[in-house]
């Protein structure tokens, strides 16, 4: 039986690990804050290295590029415990350029790196309906697909080159925030016009104007429920990655740059731990009205 290890039991990693267990896999987990592992019935390692020593495939889902570097290549990092032929699947959203470097460093010890960022929110991790976009060798992806099926609705091989998955995720995040901006502006227009917000949402979401953001976060915005599936701080981290990649490629992204600045304004007001749908608060400030007024 292939031995699996999962590093990072945050909003996303915990749901994925739980689904790997529910599918009957042999799993060891590690999290910086060990309390997040208490409800998972499996072995808990003391370090990423110790986890890797008893795993053939190591999954990682932590916050940002330096965090991946720390849990994989840092002191007591996973790479020290990995052997030739092992596979590392990184589900974190991090920089494509750093991913290319990490994959090369892993290859030096015979470990294959698959960059496999996900989309679908906390709901997707919990229900096992994530969309995964993967960069790296397709034959290695085929070998780990049966495990990833436990938490995925779609697994798309984007390219053989390391970093291809992270680049596809940058495209995904541009779409996410522009849909978020659209939902925010449009619902505020409905508010300004005095329309019933739930009725208006029901009227438009099934047509050409529909989006995941509108259907899933629209009702939360109407109820002024700012609990995060995905925090503004993490969203802002992703937009930094998008804008850096776009800058390297010389592709202008004025819409994403605007949303980046609106989120920055909300972070300045201390709202970084709210859900990314709290973007509407920046527009409410401009409009002088609030949803639900």
Contacts by residues 241-248 (CB-CB < 8 Å, ≥ 24 positions apart): 241/93, 241/94, 241/95, 241/96, 241/166, 241/170, 241/173, 242/170, 242/173, 242/174, 244/95, 245/95, 245/96, 245/97, 245/167, 245/170, 246/170, 248/97
Strands 118-119 and 130-135: antiparallel
User: If binding is defined by CB under 6 A, does position 60 make contact with ligand NAP?
Assistant: no
For ligand NAP (CB under 6 A), the number of binding residues is 26
DSSP for residue 163: T
User: If binding is defined by CB under 6 A, does position 12 make contact with ligand NAP?
Assistant: yes
User: If binding is defined by CB under 6 A, does position 32 make contact with ligand NAP?
Assistant: yes
* Residue of 36, 127, 153, 169 marked catalytic: 169
User: If binding is defined by CB under 6 A, does position 118 make contact with ligand NAP?
Assistant: yes
User: If binding is defined by CB under 6 A, does position 191 make contact with ligand NAP?
Assistant: no
Sequence-distant (≥ 6) Cβ neighbours of residue 153 within 8 angstroms: 120, 124, 128, 129, 130, 131
Complex with ligand NAP: residue 82 or 190, whichever CB lies closer? 82
CB of 105 to ligand NAP, least distance (A): 18
CB of 229 to ligand NAP, least distance (A): 5
Of the candidate residues 9, 95, 170, 197, the single one contacting ligand NAP (CB under 6 A): 9
Q: Using DSSP, state whether 73 is helix, strand or coil.
A: helix
Of the candidates 151, 173, 145, which has an alpha carbon nearest to the alpha carbon of residue 235?
173
Residue keyed to tokens 């109820």: 223
> Is 169 a residue of the active site?
yes
Q: Contacts with ligand NAP in 204-233 (CB under 6 A)?
A: 229-230
Length of the chain: 293
Of the candidate residues 17, 52, 57, 71, the single one contacting ligand NAP (CB under 6 A): 71
Question: Taking CB under 6 A as the rule, which mask of x and - marks residues 76-115 in contact with ligand NAP?
Answer: ----------------xx----------------------
DSSP result, 93-112:
---HHHHHHHHHHHHTTTPE
Residues with active-site annotation: 169
Q: What residues make contact with ligand NAP under the rule CB under 6 A?
A: 8-13, 31-33, 36, 61-63, 67, 70-71, 92-93, 118-119, 121-122, 229-230, 234, 238
């Amino acid at each position: 039986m292939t031995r699996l290890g999962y590093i990072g039991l945050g909003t996303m990693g915990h749901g994925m690990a739980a689904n790997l267990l529910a599918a009957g896999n042999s799993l060891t987990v590690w999290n910086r804050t060990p309390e997040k592992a208490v409800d998972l019935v499996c072995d808990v390692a003391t370090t990423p290295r110790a986890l890797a020593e008893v795993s053939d495939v190591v999954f990682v889902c932590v916050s940002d590029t330096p965090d991946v570097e720390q849990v994989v290549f840092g002191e007591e990092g996973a790479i020290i415990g990995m052997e030739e032929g092992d596979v590392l699947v990184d589900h974190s959203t991090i920089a494509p350029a750093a991913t290319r470097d990490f994959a090369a460093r892993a290859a030096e010890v015979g470990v294959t790196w698959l960059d496999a960022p996900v989309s679908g929110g906390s709901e997707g991790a919990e229900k096992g309906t994530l969309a995964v976009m993967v960069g790296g060798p397709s034959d290695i992806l085929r070998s780990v697909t049966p495990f990833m099926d436990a938490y995925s609705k779609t697994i798309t091989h984007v390219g053989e080159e390391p970093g291809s998955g992270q680049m596809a995720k940058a495209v995904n995040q541009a779409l996410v925030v522009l849909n978020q901006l659209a939902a925010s502006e449009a619902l505020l227009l409905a508010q300004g016009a005095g329309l019933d917000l739930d009725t208006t949402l029901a009227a438009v979401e099934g047509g050409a104007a529909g989006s995941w953001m509108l259907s899933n976060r629209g009702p939360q915005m109407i109820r002024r429920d700012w609990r995060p599936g995905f925090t503004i701080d993490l969203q802002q981290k992703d937009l930094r990655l998008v804008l850096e990649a776009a800058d390297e490629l010389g592709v202008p992204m004025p819409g994403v740059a605007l949303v980046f600045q609106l989120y920055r304004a909300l972070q300045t007001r201390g709202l970084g731990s709210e859900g990314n749908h709290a973007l509407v608060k920046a527009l409410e400030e401009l409009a002088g009205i609030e949803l639900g007024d």
